């Protein structure tokens, strides 16, 4: 089973409810999550504070002083029953420059060896298609995107790094992502982008959003430094 016949509810403390739509990561399940998020937002239920979509679930934050958990469940079930298969907003395509390899992409050579192909072929494959943003998570602005070409499917590092530089472009299993800020991480780093993914001074603060597309393209070190400056 991929998509559940009915939403499964899970309490997440006293101010949040998790709505789970399926038991696998798939475009079908994720589409249902995004439709539900848009429908809840459009319903403007008093007491619902925020919704956070993920791969296969939707976290609903609410104010228990305004809305009881029973009332909210009934309202959400009603919304889910009436979900329409209408069109989504047109996805926005963002082209993201990447300086691959060297100190900027310390795992590029290892990924190439793992697949018995050249580093140039790894770069070509990684840039060969636009990637769908399934969710934003882990840290502010971090996009979980997929799916990688089958030839690039690679496990995470056995030992995560204590520090991954901001802008690092990485892969893990069938996913690719970008670290918006310096943090620990266990994904295979192919390169780095000079593009800033998260700026709390901007509105919205995150450059990328769930449901949009990202297309990577390679740049030189000279272009990287010029862009950064």
Condensed to tens digits (0 to 9), the pLDDT of residues 200-229 reads 888 889 999 988 999 999 999 999 999 987
The pLDDT value given to residue 162:
96
- One DSSP character per residue, 150-189 reads GGG-BPPPSS-EEEE-TTEEEEEBTEEEE-SS-EEE-SEE
* Nearest partner of 8 among 63, 73, 81, judged by Cα: 73
The pLDDT value given to residue 179:
98
How far is Cα 106 from Cα 109, in angstroms, rounded to an integer?
Answer: 7
How far is Cα 215 from Cα 211, in angstroms, rounded to an integer?
Answer: 14
Domain-by-domain residue ranges, the chain? 3-81, 93-228
In the chain, % of residues over pLDDT 70: 98
Listed in sequence order, the residues at least 6 apart from 139 whose beta carbon sits closer than 8 Å to its beta carbon are 179, 180, 181, 183
How far is Cα 85 from Cα 75, in angstroms, rounded to an integer?
Answer: 19
Instruction: Find the length of the chain.
Output: 229
Residue 5 has pLDDT above 80, yes or no: yes
Whether CATH 1.10.10.10 fits 93-228:
no
How much is the pTM?
0.85
Question: What is 3-81's CATH number?
Answer: 3.30.1360.40
Between residues 85 and 145, the one the model is more confident about: 145
């Amino acid at each position: 089973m991929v998509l559940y016949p009915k939403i499964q509810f899970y309490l997440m403390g006293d101010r949040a409810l998790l709505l789970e739509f399926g038991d696998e990561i798939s475009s079908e399940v994720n589409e249902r999550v995004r439709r539900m998020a848009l429908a809840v937002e459009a319903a403007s239920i008093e007491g619902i504070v925020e919704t956070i979509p993920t791969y296969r679930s939707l976290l609903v934050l609410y104010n228990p002083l305004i809305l009881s958990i029973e009332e909210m469940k009934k309202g959400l079930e009603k919304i889910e029953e009436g979900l329409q298969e209408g069109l989504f907003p047109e996805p926005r395509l963002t082209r993201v420059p990447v300086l691959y390899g060297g100190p900027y992409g310390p795992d590029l050579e290892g990924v190439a060896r793992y697949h018995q192909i050249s580093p140039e072929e790894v770069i070509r494959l990684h840039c060969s298609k636009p990637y769908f943003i399934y969710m934003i998570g882990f840290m502010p602005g971090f996009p979980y995107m997929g799916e990688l070409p089958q030839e690039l499917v690679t496990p995470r590092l056995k030992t995560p790094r204590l520090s991954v530089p901001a802008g690092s472009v990485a892969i893990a299993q069938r996913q690719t992502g970008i670290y918006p800020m310096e943090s620990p991480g266990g994904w295979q780093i192919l390169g780095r982008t000079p593009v800033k993914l998260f700026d709390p001074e901007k509105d919205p603060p995150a450059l990328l959003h769930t449901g949009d597309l990202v297309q990577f393209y390679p740049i030189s070190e000279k272009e990287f430094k010029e862009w950064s400056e």
